[in-house]
Amino acid sequence: MISDAAIDRIAEREAAAFRAANPKSLALAQQGSAHWFQGVPFHWMLDWPSPVPLVAAGAKGAMLMTVDGRTLDDFCLGDTAAMFGHSPAPLAEALAKQAGDGLSYMLPTEKGVELGGMLSAMFGLPRWQVTTTASEANRAVIRWCRGITGRKKILIFNGCYHGAVDDVFVDLKAHAAGWEPRVRASLIGQVQDILPTTTVIEFNDAEALERELKKGDIACVLAEPVMTNVGMVRDAPGYLDTLRRLCTGNRHDPRFRRNPYDLFGLWRAQQCFWSQTGHDGDRQVDRRRRADGGIWFQRGNRRADGEVERVAPFRT
Ligand SMILES: Cc1ncc(COP(=O)(O)O)c(C=O)c1O
């Protein structure tokens, strides 16, 4: 057992080494404090355990360069936005070309039309919409799930992170008689009580999952297939299959089904976020964005087709 004092000593030693090796990052952190809250443009940049975050000077492939002239192997890869390497040449060229042709039109483009077809062909889902952040995708898809199922509750896993989505800022907290859901203290300014509409259970707890889903009032389950924001918590063998089965019934691969009586969503890769609603290929709404594992609709209690049509025109 390593004592706390020993851990503190090691942390201090490492912090001192960091300061000595990264003087420009330290100076820029101080300079940044003048105009950025806590010195950084995004608060989560302070989650690094170093005294201040390294200040990046550039990146290429799997390497990251800092203002202090250090070149590091980058295992973060822009939190997956650069999963295929920093600045791959074809992407850099396409972006540079587009930069000269205007960057924001508020209008569809010819390329966008082509891209829709490519997404559809690649992933087998016929209709697509785009959001610009994972948080935005999550918020949108939660609204769709609620709108279509007519249910208010969502189910999440303890310790999850789904971005700036108020609904999911709920943790299980220990108290004398067990565990209870509590709103995270960091959810500043939320005036609605989200506890009645957010169910939180432990990841990998199949019994709790079954118990909650059996109640039949969950609009969707929001999940990272591997919990990545409380350290790394792998799915227990069979857990994700159980989750899918409980949400979608016993069908093996719901993706290509066109069963008029089911709603289902699907997920398969850590970097993708899908949801699918509707049943006949004509009334489908898809969301895809990096980050979350996916979303499942619970089976049953589906509204009539016309209801799907009615919620569909609302912008999300
Ligand atoms: C699992 C997960 N979901 C959502 C988000 C939020 O992403 P964004 O900043 O694109 O809204 C993150 C960001 O770290 C994430 O790890």
Topology of the domain covering 113-184+192-311: Aspartate Aminotransferase; domain 2 (3.40.640)
Candidate from 47, 161, 227 with most ligand 1 atoms within 8 A of CB, to mutate: 161
Annotated domain spans of the chain = 4-89, 113-184+192-311
- CA 33 – CA 28 distance, rounded (Å): 9
What CATH number should be reported for the domain whose range is 4-89? 3.90.1150.10
Q: Which amino acid is located at 76 in the chain?
A: C
Q: What is the DSSP string of 294-315?
A: EEEEPSS-PPPHHHHHHHTTS-
Q: How confident is the model at residue 249 (pLDDT cuts 50, 70, 90)?
A: low
Residue 307's pLDDT is what?
A: 34
Output the pTM of the full model: 0.74
Residues with CB under 6 A from ligand 1: 79, 133-135, 161-163, 224, 228-229, 291-292
**In CATH terms, are 4-89 and 113-184+192-311 the same topology?**
no
Closest listed residue to residue 225, CA positions, set 248, 242, 250, 207: 242
Q: pLDDT per residue over 73-128, tens digit each?
A: 998 898 878 988 999 999 999 999 999 999 999 999 999 999 999 988 988 878 88
Arithmetic mean of pLDDT, 61-71? 97
Q: How confident is the model at residue 247 (pLDDT cuts 50, 70, 90)?
A: confident
DSSP character at residue 81 = T
Average per-residue pLDDT for the chain: 79
| pLDDT beyond 80 at 258 | no
